[in-house]
Amino acid sequence: MKTWTKCVYAASVLGMFVAVGSLFAKPAHEKETGTEAKVEVEIDNFAFSPQDLTIAAGTTVEWVNRDDIPHVVVSDDRKTFKSKVLDTDEKFSYTFTKPGTYTYFCSIHPKMTGKVIVQ
Amino acid sequence: MKRHSKDELAHDHNHDGIDRRGFLKCMAWAGTGALCLMNGGVLRSASLSGRSQEAARSAADLSFVQISDSHMGFNKPANQDVVGTLKAAVEKINALPNPPEFLLHTGDISHLSKPEEFDTVEQILKSCVAKDVFYVPGEHDVINDEGAQYLERFGKGSTGAGWRSFDKKGVRFIGLVNVMNLKAGGLGSLGTEQLAWLEQELKGLSTSTPIVVYAHIPLWNIYPEWGWGTEDSAQALGYLKRFGSVTVLNGHIHQTMQKVEGQVTFHTAASTAFPQPEPGKADGPGPMKVPAEELRKLLGITDVNFVRGQQALAIVDSKLT
């Protein structure tokens, strides 16, 4: 193989490792303070972002309403977790201790749905 | 070639008294405060000129006004004076040539279900010429407490979550509640208990009884992606099918829209608080900011007049300006 071709080959292999490696990187907004982890879900434009979230058991999810309309975060079963009505800039937190898949929605705008997968 | 006068029925394919050209003309007028009257199969129009409107109104056997979505407590840029715009709506109502006998408020009375928000609306409406107000809740009125507060204030004479039926001059009014027990990913919902009640309620009525159904979320699927529809309204509309004149009045979408399907006229009212975008014209159905001088043109009231013997009620939307 010519030297130049070798270089390109090596660079692309390295690039692949970096790309694969980034899949395992922690999301930028996750903070760790000791053993606690907190992840933020933003509510804006009638949507939860990220809509699907995967976290480790013991993580606290904090929903922040950045929309100009109030929303209410409620688990589908209406029992597991339920926020009070959140006006703009208000927050709601819930710590997920048990692994599982938790689907939720906004109880006043039910078309808004989200999912938390706890591993 | 036979020439038809502008408003004459040219093609009545469905034999329902609606001609496509006339219907489309009526749709175009709907937001401009024009009057569409149907009389013996002829869809006739009256422009906003005071005299013809007055003539139509003076012939009315029953007049009432629909207001909606006052969202008392809302204070974001789209409208930082929802008290002022609701007061302007009351002034508009009080200036109508035919004073309404009562008001229908199709929900989202409050913005956050707070007691002071409900108080303020009731206080403002006290200065309306129409002393009786019949409410149905919007999703903003039943937050946190499953509608307990709403029922305590406005539920007298109602059943279940606040549905009710009453008669005014031979017209049957039915208030439905479709904002309770909403399911994830779903639309508005009437529920089996309310549907059973509705079926029973309609049983004794003759088909010539004019019916006015009012509920917060539209009973027709305007735009499901934004929650603008009701899951089980088809069943309710099925019970209403046999009646000769049905008017469905809704709110929730903060803009006027009208549709006629056979004997049923569907109509949504503007908000008195803030406008929302047309279906699909924005990321979401949130408050739509417009230049200050444009706001009141997108808010409004709806004046409804019933003339005995005419199939459709005359529905006129007026802007707040």
Q: Is B90 helix (H, G, I), strand (E, B) or coil?
A: helix
DSSP characters over B24-79: HHHHHHGGGT-EEEEETTEEEEE-S-HHHHHHHHHT-SEEEEEE----BT--STT-
B223 to chain A nearest CA, in Å? 11
pLDDT > 70? residue B321? yes
- Cβ–Cβ under 8 Å, residues B317 and B48: no
**ipTM value:** 0.81
How is residue B148 written in tokens? Answer: 């307990």
B115-125 vs B82-94: helix crossing angle, rounded to 10: 30
pLDDT band (50, 70, 90) for residue A13: low
pLDDT in tens, A42-96: 999 999 999 999 999 999 999 999 999 999 999 999 999 999 999 999 999 999 9
> What's the CATH code of the domain at A114?
2.60.40.420
The predicted pLDDT at position A11 comes to 55
Domain membership flag for residue B97: yes
pLDDT in tens, A23-48: 554 444 444 444 569 999 999 999 99
Domain membership flag for residue A58: yes
What is the Cβ-side half-sphere exposure of residue B224, based on CA atoms within 13 angstroms? 10
The predicted pLDDT at position A20 comes to 54
The verdict on a CB contact (< 8 Å) between A46 and B284 is: yes
The verdict on a CB contact (< 8 Å) between B185 and A88 is: no
Please give the average per-residue pLDDT across B284-310, as a whole number: 95
Domain membership flag for residue A52: yes
CA dist., res. B258 & res. B269, Å (int): 9
The beta-carbon neighbor of A110 closest among B143, B183, B225 is B183
Q: Is B5 helix (H, G, I), strand (E, B) or coil?
A: coil
The verdict on a CB contact (< 8 Å) between A46 and B78 is: no
Please give the average per-residue pLDDT across A99-107, as a whole number: 98
Chain B residues with beta carbon closer than 8 angstroms to that of A113: 184-185
Please give the average per-residue pLDDT across B314-320, as a whole number: 95
What residues of chain B have any CB closer than 8 angstroms to a CB in chain A?
A: 76-78, 111-113, 139-140, 143-144, 182-187, 224-227, 283-287
What residues of chain A have any CB closer than 8 angstroms to a CB in chain B?
A: 45-47, 67-70, 72, 76, 84-85, 87-88, 103-105, 107-111, 113
Domain membership flag for residue A12: no
Lookup result for tokens 């003339």? B307
Domain membership flag for residue A21: no
Domain membership flag for residue A64: yes
Domain membership flag for residue A8: no
B6 contact partners, CB below 8 Å, separation of at least 6: none
Give chain B's mean pLDDT. Answer: 87
Backbone angles phi, psi at B208, to 5 degrees: -90, 0
Lowest mean pLDDT among A100-114, B46-60, B140-154: B46-60
The predicted pLDDT at position B153 comes to 97
Chain B residue at shortest CA distance from A111: B185
B80, B108, B178, B183: which to substitute to probe chain A, counting the most A Cβ within 10 Å? B183
pLDDT band (50, 70, 90) for residue B37: very low
Domain membership flag for residue B11: no
The beta-carbon neighbor of A105 closest among B112, B184, B287 is B184
The residue ranking higher by pLDDT, A12 or B146, is B146
The beta-carbon neighbor of A68 closest among B76, B112, B283 is B76
A46, A89, A102: which to substitute to probe chain B, counting the most B Cβ within 10 Å? A46
Q: Which domain holds residue A69?
A: 28-118
The beta-carbon neighbor of A46 closest among B139, B140, B285 is B285
> What's the CATH code of the domain at B149?
3.60.21.10
Please give the average per-residue pLDDT across B143-153, as a whole number: 95
The predicted pLDDT at position B54 comes to 54
Domain membership flag for residue B170: yes
Chain B residues with beta carbon closer than 8 angstroms to that of A46: 226, 283-286
The predicted pLDDT at position A33 comes to 44
Measure Cα distances from B61 to B99, B309, B313 in Å: 12, 10, 11
The predicted pLDDT at position B192 comes to 98
Q: Which domain holds residue B302?
A: 61-319
Please give the average per-residue pLDDT across B39-46, as a whole number: 35
* pTM exceeding 0.95: no
Domain membership flag for residue B16: no
CA dist., res. A41 & res. A91, Å (int): 10
Domain membership flag for residue B8: no
CA dist., res. A53 & res. A62, Å (int): 12
pLDDT > 70? residue A16? no
Domain membership flag for residue A18: no
pLDDT > 70? residue B35? no
> How many domains, in total, are found in chain B?
1
The predicted pLDDT at position A8 comes to 59
CA dist., res. A4 & res. B257, Å (int): 67
Please give the average per-residue pLDDT across B175-185, as a whole number: 97
Domain membership flag for residue A47: yes
The residue ranking higher by pLDDT, B44 or A103, is A103
Chain A residues with beta carbon closer than 8 angstroms to that of B285: 46
The predicted pLDDT at position B52 comes to 47
Of B173, B190, B201, which Cα lies nearest the Cα of B103? B173
pLDDT in tens, B15-25: 444 444 444 44
Chain B residues with beta carbon closer than 8 angstroms to that of A107: 143, 182
CA dist., res. B289 & res. B78, Å (int): 4
A-B Cβ pairs (cutoff 8 Å, strict): 60
